[in-house]
C-alpha cells in the first residue's frame, strides 16, 4: 500500500478547502435562492447560519479527519465503530451528489464553449430560455460535457493529493478570485446598478418567512461542503501544524464572501437590463446570456463568467469525488488510479441517466420528481442535514474530549473557555438548529 498523501503547504490546505466549498452552490445556487427568497433578508440569515452552524460543524469534521488520517468511513471506524454508519452515509451521499453535480458542471462547460466560439450572444430572453431547455433535454452535448468533466476530474485526482488536488486548487482558486473581482467591478459600473445592490444588501424583513430561514440554513450547509465527510477526507490530508479552527473560519468567510460577490456580479446586471431576479435555477443560464448580449464586450464577460463558474464547479466536484475514491482505494486496497477508474466509470453511467432525466427519461419519476430532482432532494435536504447532525453529536457527546483538545491545541485558560462554548454548540445548538430545519421542511 502506497504511503498516504498529504497537503504540502498551508496555502494549499486553504485553497483546497475553499475550492471544495466555493462551487455551483455559491455562484449558481446562492443568487437564485436569494432571488426567490427576497434578497437582503435572505443574505442576512445566511450569514448568521454560516457563523453559528457552519463554522462549528466544519471544525468538527476537521477534528475527525485529522485525528485519524483516514477516509470518511475509516475515520469513524477507527474512533468508534458504532458510528461508522455516519461514514457510510457520507460516501453514499457523495456518490449521489456527484451524479447530478457532474451534469450541471457539464452545462457550465457547454456555456463556456458557446461563449468562446462566439455563438452564445445575440438572442432574446425567450430564445435563451428555449435554448437552455433544448440543450439540457438533448442527448449528445450534455453527455459529452459531463463525460469530459468526469475525465478531467479523474485525471487530476489520480495524480494524488499534492500533485493533483493541491496543485489544481492552487492554480484555479486564485484565478477564480481575479475573475470574480473583475466581473464585480464591471457590474457595479452598469447604469442602475444600485437597484441590484439594494436588492441584495438591504434586508426587507417583511419578506422573511419560515421558508427563507430553512432555505438559508440548507444553503449554508451545502455551500460549506458539510455533512458528507468531504471535509473529513480533506482534513485527513492536513499535517499537524494546520490550525483547524482558523482554517475553518477562513474558509467559511471566503466562501461567504464569494457568494456575496457573485450576488454583486449578478443582481446589478439583472436589474440594470430590466430583468426579474426571481428566475429560479435558470438564472445564470437563461438570464445572464441576455445580460451579456446587451453589454459592451459581451463575449469577453461571458467567457470570464462561465470560466469562473466552471472552475468553481470543477474544484468542488473534485472534492466530492475524492470522498468516494479515498474510501474505495483504502477499503478495497486498490491503487488510487484503479479506484479512480472504477468510481468515475460508475459516475459516468449514473450521471448519464441523471442527465437524460431532462429529456428522454423525463417521464421516469421517483416520489413524484424526475431522477435529477429526486437525487438533489434526497441528498441535499435529507442526507446532508442528517450527516451534519450526527457528526456534531459524535464530536460533541461521544468523542474523547482529549482528542478535541489536542486537535484544537487547547493550551491556555482562555482557550478552555472558548472550547466550552464550542462543545455547547456541537452538543446543542447545531443539532437543534439543523433538526428544526430538517423537520420543518416536511411540515412546510
Q: Which is nearer to ligand TRP, 74 or 388 (CB)?
A: 388
For ligand TRP, which stretch binds (CB under 6 A), given 70-78, 160-168, 221-229, 415-423?
Answer: 221-229
Binding region for ligand TRP (CB under 6 A) out of 59-67, 77-85, 223-231, 359-367: 223-231
β-bridge partners, 370: 365
* Letter string b/e over residues 326-355, b meaning 16 or more CB atoms within 10 A of that residue's CB: bbbbbeeeeebeebbeebbebbbebbbebb
Grid coordinates representing 121? 450572444
- Name the residue whose CB lies closest to ligand TRP: 25
Q: What is the smallest separation between the CB atom of 278 and ligand TRP, expressed in angstroms?
A: 21
Return the H-helix or E-strand segment holding 236: none
> Smallest distance, Å, CB 13 to ligand TRP?
16
Q: Is residue 58 involved in binding ligand TRP (CB under 6 A)?
A: no
Element housing 7 (H / E): none
Element spanning 310, H or E? helix 298-331
C-alpha cell at 82: 458504532
Query: What binding mask, one character per residue, do residues 309-338 give for ligand TRP by CB under 6 A, x or -?
Result: -------x--xx------------------
# of chain residues touching ligand TRP (CB under 6 A): 17
CB of 139 to ligand TRP, least distance (A): 26
Residue 21 found at the interface with ligand TRP (CB under 6 A): yes
Segment near ligand TRP (CB under 6 A); pick from 8-16, 178-186, 220-228, 351-359: 220-228
Q: Is 50 in the site for ligand TRP (CB under 6 A)?
A: no
Q: Which is nearer to ligand TRP, 149 or 275 (CB)?
A: 149
Rule CB under 6 A: is residue 233 a binding residue for ligand TRP? no
d(C-alpha 307, C-alpha 331), whole Å: 36
230 is an interface residue for ligand TRP by CB under 6 A = yes
End-to-end, the C-alpha distance of the chain in Å comes to 50
**Nearest residue to 272 (alpha-carbon basis) of 198, 358, 350:** 198
Stretch that binds ligand TRP, among 19-27, 106-114, 136-144, 263-271 (CB under 6 A): 19-27
User: Cβ closer to ligand TRP: 20 or 272?
Assistant: 20
Task: Rank residues 97 and 112 by Cβ distance to ligand TRP and give the closer one.
Answer: 97
Residue (of 159, 156, 170, 245) closest to 15 by Cα position = 170
Residues 266-305, interacting with ligand TRP (CB under 6 A): none
For residue 196, how many other CB atoms are within 10 A of its CB? 25
CA-closest candidate to residue 225, choices 315, 130, 348, 344: 315
For the segment 373-402, give every residue that binds ligand TRP (CB under 6 A).
384
- Per DSSP, helices labelled H in 50-166 are 55-68, 72-79, 84-116, 125-136, 140-158
How far is 304 from 240, CA to CA, in rounded Å?
Answer: 38
Choose the stretch contacting ligand TRP; rule: CB under 6 A; options: 40-48, 52-60, 65-73, 226-234.
226-234
> Which one, 228 or 393, has the nearer CB to ligand TRP?
228
- Cβ-contact 319, 19 below 8 angstroms: yes
DSSP 360: T
34 contributes a contact to ligand TRP by CB under 6 A:
no
- Cell numbers linked to 58: 466544519
- Write out the residues near ligand TRP by the rule CB under 6 A: 20-21, 23-26, 97, 222-223, 225, 227-228, 230, 316, 319-320, 384
Amino acid at each position: 500500500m502506497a504511503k498516504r498523501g498529504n497537503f504540502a503547504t498551508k496555502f494549499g490546505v486553504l485553497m483546497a478547502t475553499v475550492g471544495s466549498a466555493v462551487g455551483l452552490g455559491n455562484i449558481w445556487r446562492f443568487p437564485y435562492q436569494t432571488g426567490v427568497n427576497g434578497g437582503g433578508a435572505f443574505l442576512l440569515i445566511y450569514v448568521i447560519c454560516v457563523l453559528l452552524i457552519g463554522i462549528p460543524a466544519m471544525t468538527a469534521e476537521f477534528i475527525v479527519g485529522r485525528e485519524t488520517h483516514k477516509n470518511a468511513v475509516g475515520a469513524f471506524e477507527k474512533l468508534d465503530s458504532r458510528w461508522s454508519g455516519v461514514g457510510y452515509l457520507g460516501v453514499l451521499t457523495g456518490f449521489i451528489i456527484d451524479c447530478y453535480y457532474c451534469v450541471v458542471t457539464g452545462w457550465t462547460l457547454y456555456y463556456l464553449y458557446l461563449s468562446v466560439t462566439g455563438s452564445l450572444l445575440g438572442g432574446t430572453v425567450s430564445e435563451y430560455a428555449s435554448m437552455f431547455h433544448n440543450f439540457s433535454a438533448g442527448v449528445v452535448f450534455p453527455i459529452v460535457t459531463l463525460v469530459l468533466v468526469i475525465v478531467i476530474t479523474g485525471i487530476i485526482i489520480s495524480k494524488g493529493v499534492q500533485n493533483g488536488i493541491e496543485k489544481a486548487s492552487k492554480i484555479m482558486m486564485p484565478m477564480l478570485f481575479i475573475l470574480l473581482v473583475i466581473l464585480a467591478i464591471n457590474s457595479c459600473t452598469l447604469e442602475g446598478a444600485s437597484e441590484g445592490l439594494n436588492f441584495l444588501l438591504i434586508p426587507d424583513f417583511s419578506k422573511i418567512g419560515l421558508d427563507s430561514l430553512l432555505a438559508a440554513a440548507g444553503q449554508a450547509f451545502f455551500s460549506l461542503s458539510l455533512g458528507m465527510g468531504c471535509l473529513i477526507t480533506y482534513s485527513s490530508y492536513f499535517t499537524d501544524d494546520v490550525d483547524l479552527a482558523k482554517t475553518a473560519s477562513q474558509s467559511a468567510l471566503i466562501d461567504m464572501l464569494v457568494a456575496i460577490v457573485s450576488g454583486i456580479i449578478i443582481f446589478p446586471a439583472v436589474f440594470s437590463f430590466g430583468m426579474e431576479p426571481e428566475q429560479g435555477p435558470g438564472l445564470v443560464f437563461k438570464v445572464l446570456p441576455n445580460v451579456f448580449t446587451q453589454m459592451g464586450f459581451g463575449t469577453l464577460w461571458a467567457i470570464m463568467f462561465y470560466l469562473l463558474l466552471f472552475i468553481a464547479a470543477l474544484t468542488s466536484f473534485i472534492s466530492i469525488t475524492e470522498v468516494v475514491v479515498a474510501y474505495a482505494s483504502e477499503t478495497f486496497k486498490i491503487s488510487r488510479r484503479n479506484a479512480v477508474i472504477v468510481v468515475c466509470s460508475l459516475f459516468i453511467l449514473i450521471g448519464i441517466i441523471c442527465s437524460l432525466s431532462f429529456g428522454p427519461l423525463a417521464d421516469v419519476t421517483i416520489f413524484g420528481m424526475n431522477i435529477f430532482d429526486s437525487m438533489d432532494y434526497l441528498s441535499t435536504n435529507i442526507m446532508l442535514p442528517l450527516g451534519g447532525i450526527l457528526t456534531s453529536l459524535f464530536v460533541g457527546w461521544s468523542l474523547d474530549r482529549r482528542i478535541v483538545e489536542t486537535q484544537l491545541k487547547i493550551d491556555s485558560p482562555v482557550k478552555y473557555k472558548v472550547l466550552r462554548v464550542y462543545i455547547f454548540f456541537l452538543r446543542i445548538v447545531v443539532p437543534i438548529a439543523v433538526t428544526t430545519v430538517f423537520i420543518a421542511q416536511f411540515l412546510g
